[in-house]
Amino acid sequence: MSECIQITGANFETEVLQSPVPVLLDFWAAWCGPCKMIGPVVEKLAGEYDGRLRVGKVNVDDESDLASRHGIVSIPTLIVYNEGNIVNQTAGAVPKQNIEALFRDLV
């Protein structure tokens, strides 16, 4: 079962922009209630789509530069990258099927 990758400023280009498969990024914080609600769902998706989708988590408290570069004003925010480009995103604690809809056509 695949695990979520901790995305930082140091590994963003390699893990996200140069990824051979689409990437789902979860911008979250430890103190965020809605983030805690969708966290297990995001982690489950990492296992379900292992090999077809890379799942990364960005702690906005630790990686404020990355959050700022992405214009994150609300968390959780989920962003899908494909071939180095943002192709979809949503904010808030959304159901699993809504998250899957962000990348379903890419995997």
Per-residue pLDDT of 22-78, as tens digits, reads 999 999 999 999 999 999 999 999 999 999 999 999 999 999 999 999 999 999 999
pLDDT of residue 2: 65
Domain ranges of the chain: 5-106
For residue 56, report the phi and psi dihedrals to the nearest 5 degrees: -125, 150
DSSP 33-102: HHHHHHHHHHHHHHHHTTTT-EEEEEETTT-HHHHHHTT--SSSEEEEEETTEEEEEEESS--HHHHHHH
Q: Which two tokens stand for residue 18?
A: 């140069």
How far apart, in whole angstroms, are the C-alpha atoms of residue 13 and residue 91?
A: 23
pLDDT of residue 3: 85
Q: Is 32 considered catalytic here? A: yes
CA 67 to centroid of chain Cα atoms: 12
Q: Is 4 considered catalytic here? A: no
Q: Which CATH architecture has domain 5-106?
A: 3-Layer(aba) Sandwich (3.40)
Which is the catalytic residue, given 16, 35, 67, 99? 35
pTM confidence score: 0.95
Which is the catalytic residue, given 16, 24, 32, 55? 32
